[in-house]
Amino acid sequence: MANSDRKRVVITGLGAITPLGNTPDEYWQGLTTGRSGVGPITAFDPQHHTCKIAAEVKGFDPLAYMDRKDAKRMDRFAQFAVSASKQALADAQFDITDLNAEQVGVMIGTGVGGLRVMEEQQEVYLNRGPSRCSPFMVPMMIANMAAGLTAIHLGAKGPNSCAVTACAAGSNAIGDAFRLVQQGYAQAMICGGTEAAVTPLSVAGFASARALTSRNDDPLHASRPFDRDRDGFVIGEGCGILLLEELEHARSRGAKIYGEMVGYGMTCDAYHMTAPVPGGEGAARCIQLAMKDANLTPDQVSYINAHGTSTPANDPTETQAIKTALGDQAYKVAISSTKSMTGHLLGGSGGIEAVAATLTMVHDQVPPTMNLENPDEGCDLDYVPNQARALTVDVVLSNSFGFGGHNVTLAFRKYKP
């Protein structure tokens, strides 16, 4: 599609259920004050696990957003998605009616879907037999159900899908939704990522893959992206949702506009199941494609919300990718990893990080990378260490990279009529 035929896409609503708070405002306050959402695991007894900490969502009550019957028939990852989506629509003052329902769609990504229900039902199967498994097990655990149930609860009859690209899933879902609005297939899209994988089997599996931190005695400082002493990521949970809307539609109803989405890049490393390609070639191309899609030059980029997982492999590789993509400008752009406070939400990370990217433009304030005390010699860029920074932010890039070699970069711009 020619650039002249593309519709402008703006952000008109935000929703967030996170380890730092269960609204966008609470989440943003946590980010900018450098508060950690990491602590001892409470969802199960981690006594026999090597990793005993996580970034859990606290104080979430699904009954604030749905009735008890519906809540019991949803895995936690879907509860998060429906709740955050309702927040975003309320924030945007957007009503889905019989007149517009077919023009409103849902794209919500997840990495592992309803793992909690799957594990619980496996126990039922082993201990009580196959006849005692829940008839709701399959619809509760399948990954697409966050998007499906959100559409059911909100009455959105437009395009509906679910990206399942590991830790890139939330960003893929937002990018795919962006394309649909941009090309005229929908007037509005509810999009983002959700995850609730703080479960015994998930934590055991990631720990066995040597992906998780073992800093159990110091949870507040366990997630330390770009730091020399990082030893793995902290698993987190939650959901971040954007309401993307075609500009003229948003203006016609007098909507407030947080910012504009302007670019989407995605590539594959085609290299390894879990490790990034050395040198970050795939991630660099991804960043460049997003900038090209948005018609941006490196000197226009104000801030990058990094994937920044706090793993030995990711952080120097992403650093090199940014250098390759931005050239000398890489040393002049502010970069931070909000995972230093939220942990890594897997497929939900792109969702909450897109919310953070949006609020960074709104407030002209960059969240810090916490716990960056001894920078790795391979990580020599400006990671906004340990304290938020006031900065005029016109353009933001948000990176998400997933197992399987999936790379996604989203580009956002401060809205200008």
Distance of CA 384 to the CA centre of its chain: 20
Q: Can you point out the beta strands (E) in 253-318?
A: 259-268, 303-305
d(C-alpha 344, C-alpha 322), whole Å: 20
d(C-alpha 50, C-alpha 40), whole Å: 12
49 given a catalytic annotation:
no
Catalytic residue among 51, 167, 191, 379: 167
162 given a catalytic annotation:
no
- CB 169 within 8 Å of CB 347: yes
3-state secondary structure of 374: coil
d(C-alpha 290, C-alpha 411), whole Å: 6
Angle between helices 349-363 and 169-182 (to 10 degrees): 60
d(C-alpha 288, C-alpha 18), whole Å: 30
d(C-alpha 232, C-alpha 224), whole Å: 9
Catalytic residue among 153, 249, 307, 406: 307
DSSP string, 28-84: HHHHHTT----EE--SS--TT-S--EEB---S--GGGTS-HHHHHTS-HHHHHHHHH
286 given a catalytic annotation:
no
Catalytic residue among 153, 249, 344, 406: 344
Contacts of 306 (CB under 8 A, 6+ apart): 225, 318, 322, 335, 336, 337, 369, 383, 399
d(C-alpha 291, C-alpha 213), whole Å: 33
Q: Which residues are catalytic?
A: 167, 307, 344
